[in-house]
Each structure stands twice: as structure tokens, then as C-alpha cells.
Amino acid sequence: LQSEIISVGTELLLGDILDTNSNYLAKELARLGIDVFYLSSVGDNLTRIQDAIRIAASRSDLIILTGGLGPTDDDLTKQALSNVLGLPLYEEAKEVARLNNFFKKRGVKMSLNNLRQALIPQGAIILENAIGTASGIIVNKDEKYFILLPGPPSEMKHVFEKQVKPWLKANISTSRDYLHSHTLKFIGISESRLNFEIEDILNNNANPTVALLAKNGEIHCRLTAKVKSQWEFEMLIDPVKKEILERVGQYYYGDDDISLEQIIGKMLTEKNLTLVTAESCTGGMIAQRITSIPGSSEYFLGSIVAYANSVKENILNVPREILSNYGAVSKETALAMAEEVKKVLKSDLGLAITGIAGPGGGTEEKPVGLIYIALVGYNINVCKKYIFTGTRNDIRWRSSTWALNLLRRSIEEL
Ligand code: ATP
Ligand code: MG
């Protein structure tokens, strides 16, 4: 069985919103062992939606559409499907009652427009949407299945999870092989270096397949296998994971949904250590990332954004001689910032960062992208120098990632 997904909405074509619905559906279908061969998007235009449906029906057995089920004139998906399949729309009494009820419960008068949402193609199965006004719909015609889902992502997920998934499991025969993935996350190693270290594994295109993805200054290594069970998945994945970690384990920090910020939180909690930061070029980004984790108040005390030299000197107490002798972007300043912020904010660990995020302000000696990251306290006293490339934001984000990683590795070694 071949499937494809069509997202409907002019906003998608204008680049106003990202097509997260297709992304979600593609992932879910893969998990169910259903092959997705095409993703496409089309605007709110009757002729073009009809064309998209016709093309999809010429090559796929299962076609899922999202969006355009609302009450307004630009919501055309049902009309288009009805036209293509020659199945007239009728006003379904149960849907009218449901809509009346929906608005009554909320104490709002239903507008006449909403009655459009009670129109159903003849012979369709109606999929209940408990959180919105647009029901989903399944239509079966000439051995092809068409599934229509609402556009708002929360409603789309709700209808898919509650209605479509069980229906697919019961009605669609798949190869019974499920696609499972497991992601290993690395920091501090470049994509090309990681590629080099595990090239033979990457090229061995068997079950599992292994692929690298660069993501926000991290490198993710995704292992994907076609399997019949979680147990079989682990049997296939474990030896490959072990082999990869034997080679590049020092750069690995965690799996799947776990983030660097979470790992750090866990480590600081376990060691019962507190952390503060002094940030120049990142302007609080490290503190922001650390405090994005619920419960971070257990180990994170605060931060000083010491952007100007006057703040470095007057609030952080970085000695004026260090600033004038070595400059604000220097190993000496970074170490002094870390040491002083630790003292001023009374913490176990002080993490500091200073650098040139650009695009201006670079010199021959101190180019844009030059960053010093220092960590002081609890027998740790390190400063690392990096030169990052990219836009101002790339450099700032990457600096904060490398700072978090320096923290992670230093605590690990304690
Ligand atoms: P409504 O009843 O709200 O009109 P609808 O089924 O007609 O629902 P659309 O009007 O197409 O859906 O989309 C409603 C909103 O849902 C959009 O403004 C957009 O924010 C979001 N949305 C629609 N399609 C997608 C998509 N493919 N990916 C992510 N978000 C989407
Ligand atoms: Mg709409």
C-alpha cells in the first residue's frame, strides 16, 4: 500500500506557517508501517485542490488531506473531493445536531456558515472531533481511501490519534514491519569528523540504516530499523550503538528526546552543585537555556549579563588591569568573570563566556567568532578558546552549546 499526504492552505504556500501536520502524519504513518511516497501542499483554490487529489489518486492508495474543513468560503477540501469522486455532499443531520450542541455548550450562537461543516460526501465515515467544529472524514472509492483531517494541529492530532490510527490498524494491511528510530546525540565533534570515524557503519546500508544530521551545533546520529517488535529493534540496534560509542563515545551526551540542558540539570542535582553564569556575547542565552528546564531552581542561582566592560569591572569585579592588558575577549577575562561571578553570586560553579559574535568588531588578531568559555569552582579551572563561523545568531547559539558541553564534560570528570 502506498500513501501520500496533502496539506491544504494558502498560508503554507506563502511561507507563513510550517507544515507541521505533514511532518507529524509522516512520522505516525512510518511507525504504523505505512509507506509515504509523496508530500504535497496546495493553496485554498478549488481547481488546484481537485488537481492535487486527482494526481494523488492516480498513484497512491491512501491519501490523507489536512486543512480546509472550516466554515469559511476558503475551506474547500470537502467540495473538491466531492467533485473529483462524483460523490455529492449532503447535510448530515447528526452533524447539524453536534454543531448546535457544540455552540450551545459554549454559550455562543452558531453562525449559518457553520452548517457547511455538516456537509458530508455520500458514503463517508465521520470521525469525531471532540475538541473542535470540523469532524474528520474517511471516504472509500474505487479501492482508494481518502482521509480528511482538520487543519489546526491540535485537532488534527486528536482526530488522528483517537479515530484514524485505530481505523488504519483495523483496515489497512501493512507489511507489519514498523519503522523505528533511535537517535544518539553528539556535541564537540564536527559532522565530517564523525562521518570519518564511523564511515563503514554509515555505508553499510543494512538494517539498521545509520544517518547523520547536523542540528543546532549538535550532530545527531539516527539509527533506523524495520522491525516487527520493540524487542527485535533493540536486538538490531544495540550492537551498532555499542560500536559507535566505542569509537566516539566521548562526544555523546544522550538519546532521543533528552536535551543537553536536561542532562546538565540531572548531573548538577546528582552532585548537589549550584551554578551561576556570567555572559557577555551570549547576553543571557546560557541562563535562558538552563532555566528552560522545570526544577532548575534547585541548581541554578542566577546570571550576570556583563556586556559592557563597565559591568564586567563594576558588578563582576573583573580587575581593570586584566581588561586593559588582555582585552575583554581573552582567556584572562573569561577566567576572571567565572571566578568573580561564582564569588558575587555565591555558587559552587561559575561559568563565563566572552567573545565576538559579529558581524562587526573583529580584528586580525581577534576575529569574529572568537569565543572564550571558562568554568571555575569545585576543583575545576578551565578556559577553552573556540573560533566559530556563521551568522551572529549561529555564533551565539553555538557558543552557548559549547559552554553547556564544557560544563557537562567537566562535571562528568569530577
Ligand atoms: P478551521 O476550522 O480552523 O478553519 P480548517 O480545517 O479549515 O480549520 P485551516 O483553515 O486550513 O483548517 O487551518 C486552520 C489553522 O490550522 C491554520 O491557520 C494554521 O494555523 C493551522 N494549520 C493548517 N494546516 C496546517 C499544517 N499543514 N501544518 C501546521 N499548521 C496548520
Ligand atoms: Mg479554515
For the segment 160-214, what is each residue's pLDDT rounded down to a tens digit? 999 999 999 888 876 667 778 899 999 989 999 999 999 999 998 788 999 999 9
With contact defined as beta carbons under 8 Å apart, do 67 and 132 qualify? no
With contact defined as beta carbons under 8 Å apart, do 211 and 253 qualify? no
8-state DSSP, 162: I
**Angle in degrees, CA 41, 47, 52, rounded to 5:** 35
**Residue 255 clears pLDDT 90, i.e. is over it:** yes
Q: What are phi and psi of 377, to 5 degrees?
A: 125, 155
Confidence of residue 230 (pLDDT cuts 50, 70, 90): confident
DSSP structure string for 306-327 = --SHHHHHHTS---HHHHHHH-
Q: Is the CB of 204 under 6 A from ligand 1?
A: no
d(CA 128, CA 137): 9
Q: Is the CB of 21 under 6 A from ligand 1?
A: yes
Cβ atoms < 10 Å from Cβ of 257: 8
Tell me the average pLDDT across 221-225. Answer: 94
The pick from 44, 64, 75 for probing ligand 1's pocket by mutation, whose C-beta has the most ligand atoms within 8 angstroms, reads 75
Q: Please tell me the predicted confidence (pLDDT) of residue 391.
A: 94
The pick from 13, 17, 72 for probing ligand 1's pocket by mutation, whose C-beta has the most ligand atoms within 8 angstroms, reads 17
d(CA 338, CA 287): 14
- Beta-carbon contacts of 357 under 8 Å, excluding residues fewer than 6 positions away, are 281, 282, 368, 369, 392, 395, 396, 399
**E strand map for 245-297:** 252-255, 275-279
Handedness of CA 320, 324, 329, 335 (dihedral sign): negative
Ligand 1 midpoint to CA 7 (Å): 9
Tell me the average pLDDT across 375-384. Answer: 96
- Beta-carbon contacts of 343 under 8 Å, excluding residues fewer than 6 positions away, are 317, 350
Tell me the average pLDDT across 271-283. Answer: 97
Single-letter code of the amino acid located at 199: E
Cell 588578531 -> residue: 365
Cell 558581524 -> residue: 359
Q: Please tell me the predicted confidence (pLDDT) of residue 175.
A: 60
Q: How far from 27 is each of 33, 181, 302, CA to CA, in Å? A: 10, 10, 39
Q: Please tell me the predicted confidence (pLDDT) of residue 288.
A: 98
Q: Please tell me the predicted confidence (pLDDT) of residue 136.
A: 97
d(CA 180, CA 380): 41
* pLDDT tens per residue across span 317-352: 999 999 999 999 999 999 999 999 999 999 999 999
Q: Which of 378, 338, 377 is nearest to 354 (CA)?
A: 338
pTM of the complete model beyond 0.75: no
Cβ atoms < 10 Å from Cβ of 32: 16
Tell me the average pLDDT across 50-79. Answer: 96
Three-class SS state of 390: coil
Q: Environment class of residue 99 by beta-carbon count within 10 Å: exposed (0-12), middle (13-18) or buried (19+)?
A: buried
d(CA 6, CA 45): 13
Three-class SS state of 389: coil
Using only C-alpha atoms, the chain has a radius of gyration, in whole angstroms, of 28
Single-letter code of the amino acid located at 140: N
From the alpha carbon of 9, which atom of ligand 1 is closest? 11
Ligand 2 midpoint to CA 119 (Å): 15
Q: Is the CB of 70 under 6 A from ligand 1?
A: yes
* Percent over 70 (pLDDT), the chain: 99
* pLDDT tens per residue across span 52-61: 999 999 999 9
Single-letter code of the amino acid located at 293: I
Calculate the average pLDDT of the chain: 94
Residues measured by CB to lie within 5 Å of ligand 2, the ion:
70, 75
Q: Is the CB of 151 under 6 A from ligand 1?
A: yes
With contact defined as beta carbons under 8 Å apart, do 233 and 184 qualify? no
Q: Give the residue, by CA position, lying nearest to ligand 1 atom 21.
A: 152
Q: Is the CB of 19 under 6 A from ligand 1?
A: yes
Q: Please tell me the predicted confidence (pLDDT) of residue 216.
A: 79
* pLDDT tens per residue across span 292-307: 999 999 999 999 999 9
* pLDDT tens per residue across span 153-162: 999 999 999 9
**Residue 249 clears pLDDT 80, i.e. is over it:** yes
Q: Please tell me the predicted confidence (pLDDT) of residue 215.
A: 86
Q: Please tell me the predicted confidence (pLDDT) of residue 180.
A: 85
Three-class SS state of 136: strand
* Percent over 90 (pLDDT), the chain: 86
**Residue 111 clears pLDDT 80, i.e. is over it:** yes
Q: Provide the pairing of β-strand 89-91 with 119-121.
A: antiparallel
Cα dihedral 342/343/347/350 (nearest 10): 10
Tell me the average pLDDT across 68-79. Answer: 95
